[in-house]
């Protein structure tokens, strides 16, 4: 199991303490075709991503969280070969070159593994369709065959992922499935990757993850294993699954919702919950990813993008910035076919081609990521509310004997917020007079403790 401290806290590998991820959805980033055609030659597109690594480094990131890069039929989450790079992205040599470029810059690499389900074109499922119940891979899936003898062309019913028939759910009680996942994870860790995001981890039994994690760590004890969990008992999934972390969707929702509603009581409650998670493990925190509306589009008032970013980068957790958010990209996710396209756009050949309109947001990211990296104790820091109102919030964040104070104002007018024991303004703008901090309209500040 991942390393733990007093009370069984999961700490994960030591290097994660300094991790700030730049998260990329590669198929969209490089402008790949919507679906793979078997007769099309390999397109060597990963170098496009390599041209952006200096951008990530200058942003302040320490790692590249890479979305699915393995052979799939359409969007990357319908895998057909876990050991092959998607030919729309490149081949093994392209992957090795990207990994080497990351290493040259000191960037870690996190891969995205889809192990709850496979695409219908996966050889194991094709064998079932071609050979019926006697197929050697029939035990890999949760199948329901019609009554009577099987005849060629007869297709079974099967469990899928959340109603998507193209995503065939694996049977995680099958030893062969466990072996498949362990082989895939160790193969790419052997090649040099540093860890895995486990897609749809919430849909997989924690007993399966615990067996897989133990086997993988026997080979790679410093690998970081993080599960995608949207709802449920985060700490239980981490503990029972022997994982290092899970995605912190509760905090993500509370940040933009509280800012839009002018209701810091919601954020205060979420930060209290967040502290309880931090007692058990360090959550993976974010404001955006490939599955949700971009934060710049989600917020009703663009002036509050700074407030959201301040919360992300001054609270405990392992933070990630979704590529484009650092330039205030817009994009709304819609529940329809192709509804993810707006949040998964192609990127230009180099960062120099981006609009200058996003530079203020980029510089704000640099400033706040720099502040976080100068205070590395923030990774496991706890927050405590100092002042709470609907539209003003002050909290201290403390750890390793150090302290910062964050003050936020959502009002159209300036606000005097009662806060004791603050020092110099480290980011943002504030006037400190005794035990009061003066913020401008829609202002914010991070102060020394």
What's residue 39's pLDDT? Answer: 83
Percent of the chain with pLDDT over 90: 96
Q: What is the pLDDT of residue 37?
A: 85
Q: What is the pTM of this model?
A: 0.97
Please indicate, yes or no, whether residues 235 and 354 belong to a single structural domain of this protein: yes
Average pLDDT over residues 381-407: 98
| Alpha-carbon dihedral sign for residues 113, 117, 122, 123 | positive
Is residue 121 a part of any domain in this protein? Answer: no
Residue 157 within any structural domain of the chain: no
- Same domain for 434 and 315, yes or no, is no
Answer yes or no: do 283 and 224 share one domain: yes
pLDDT tier, 3 (very low <50, low <70, confident <90, very high otherwise): low
Pair 287, 346 in one domain: yes
The mean pLDDT of 21-34, rounded to a whole number, is: 98
Instruction: Tell me the longest C-alpha to C-alpha distance in the chain.
Output: 84
Instruction: Mark whether 367 and 391 lie in a shared domain.
Output: no
Residues 352 and 405 in one domain: no
Domain membership of residue 37 as a residue range: 6-116+170-380
Residue 155 within any structural domain of the chain: no
Distance CA 401, CA 46 (A): 43
Place of tokens 């050697």: 136
List helix spans (H) across 192-301: 206-219, 234-241, 249-261, 264-278, 295-298
Rounded to an integer, the average pLDDT of 138-147 is 97
Phi first, then psi: give them for residue 431, nearest 5 degrees. -115, 120
**Residue 84: which H helix or E strand, with range?**
strand 79-85
Ranges 8-22, 170-184, 198-212: which has the least confidence: 8-22
Token pair recorded at residue 232 = 């449920």
Cβ proximity of 410 and 389 under 8 Å: no
Residues 234-242: what's their mean pLDDT? 98
Confidence (pLDDT) at 9: 86
19 found inside a domain = yes
Looking at the domain assignment, is residue 307 inside a domain? yes
**Residues in CB range of 93: below 8 A, 6 or more apart:** none
78-129: per-residue pLDDT in tens?
999 999 999 999 999 999 999 999 999 999 999 999 999 999 999 999 999 9
The predicted pLDDT at position 5 comes to 42
Q: Span 275-296, mean pLDDT?
A: 98
pLDDT for 4 beyond 80: no
> Which of 380, 403, 429 represents a domain boundary (last residue)?
380
**pLDDT tops 70 at residue 323:** yes
Of 320, 347, 380, which residue is a domain's last?
A: 380
Question: How do beta strands 415-418 and 425-428 pair?
Answer: unpaired
Q: Which of 30-44, 109-123, 199-213, 219-233 has the lowest mean pLDDT?
A: 30-44
Q: Examine the domain organization and report whether 77 and 188 are in the same domain.
A: yes
CATH number for the domain including 433? 2.60.40.1180
Residue 147 belongs to some domain of the structure: no
Same domain, 272 and 347: yes
Tell me if 151 is assigned to some domain: no
Q: Which of 331, 356, 380 is at the close of a domain?
A: 380
Domain co-membership, 89 together with 191: yes
Taking the C-alpha atoms of residue 328 and residue 326, their distance in angstroms, rounded to an integer, is 6
Instruction: CATH number of the domain at 28, please.
Output: 3.20.20.80
Residue 6 has pLDDT above 70, yes or no: no
Rounded to the nearest integer, the mean pLDDT of the chain is: 96
Tens digit of each residue's pLDDT (9 = 90 or more) over 245-268: 999 999 999 999 999 999 999 999
- Cβ atoms of 245 and 281 closer than 8 Å: yes
Instruction: Decide if 212 is inside a domain.
Output: yes
**426, 312: one domain:** no
Check residues 111 and 338 and name the one with the higher pLDDT: 111
If asked whether residues 354 and 433 sit together in one domain, one would say no
Tell whether 372 and 393 lie within a shared domain: no
- For the cut 80, the answer to whether the pLDDT of residue 188 exceeds it is yes
- Domain total in the chain: 2
């Amino acid at each position: 199991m991942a390393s733990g401290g007093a009370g069984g806290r999961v700490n994960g590998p030591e290097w994660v303490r300094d991790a700030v991820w730049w998260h990329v959805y590669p198929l969209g980033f490089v402008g790949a075709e919507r679906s793979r055609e078997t007769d099309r030659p390999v397109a060597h597109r990963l170098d496009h991503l390599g041209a952006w690594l200096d951008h990530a480094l200058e942003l302040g990131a320490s790692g590249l969280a890479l979305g699915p890069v393995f052979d799939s039929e359409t969007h990357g989450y319908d895998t057909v070969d876990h050991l092959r790079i998607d030919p729309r992205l490149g081949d093994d040599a392209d992957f090795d070159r990207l990994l080497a470029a990351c290493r040259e810059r000191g960037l870690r690499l996190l891969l995205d593994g889809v192990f709850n389900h496979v695409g219908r074109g996966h050889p194991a499922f094709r064998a079932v369709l071609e050979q019926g119940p006697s197929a050697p891979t029939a035990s890999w899936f949760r199948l329901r065959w019609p009554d009577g003898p099987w005849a060629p062309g007869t297709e079974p019913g099967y469990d899928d992922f959340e109603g998507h028939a193209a995503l065939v759910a694996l049977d995680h009680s099958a030893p062969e499935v466990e072996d498949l996942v362990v082989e895939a994870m160790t193969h790419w860790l052997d090649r040099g990757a540093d860890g895995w995001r486990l897609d749809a981890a919430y849909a997989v039994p924690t007993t399966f993850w615990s067996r897989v994690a133990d086997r993988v760590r026997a080979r790679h004890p410093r690998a970081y294993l993080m599960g995608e969990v949207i709802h449920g008992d985060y700490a239980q999934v981490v503990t029972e699954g022997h994982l290092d972390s899970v995605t912190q969707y509760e905090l993500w929702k509370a940040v933009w919702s509280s800012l839009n509603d002018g209701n810091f009581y919601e954020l205060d409650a979420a930060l209290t919950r967040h502290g309880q998670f931090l007692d058990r493990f360090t959550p993976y925190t974010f404001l955006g990813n490939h599955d949700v509306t971009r934060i710049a589009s989600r917020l009703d008032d663009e002036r509050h993008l700074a407030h959201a970013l301040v919360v992300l980068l001054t609270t405990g957790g392992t933070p990630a910035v979704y590529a484009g958010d650092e330039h205030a990209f817009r994009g709304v996710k819609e529940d329809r076919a192709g509804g993810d396209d707006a949040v998964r756009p192609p990127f230009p050949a180099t960062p120099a081609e981006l609009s200058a309109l996003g530079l203020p947001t980029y510089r704000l990211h640099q400033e706040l990521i720099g502040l976080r990296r100068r205070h590395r104790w923030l990774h496991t820091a706890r927050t405590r509310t100092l002042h709470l109102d609907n539209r003003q919030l002050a909290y201290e964040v403390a750890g390793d004997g150090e302290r910062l104070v964050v003050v936020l104002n959502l009002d159209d007018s300036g606000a005097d917020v009662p806060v004791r024991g603050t020092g110099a303004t480290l980011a943002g703008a504030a006037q400190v007079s005794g035990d009061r901090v003066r913020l401008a309209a829609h202002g914010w500040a991070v102060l020394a403790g």
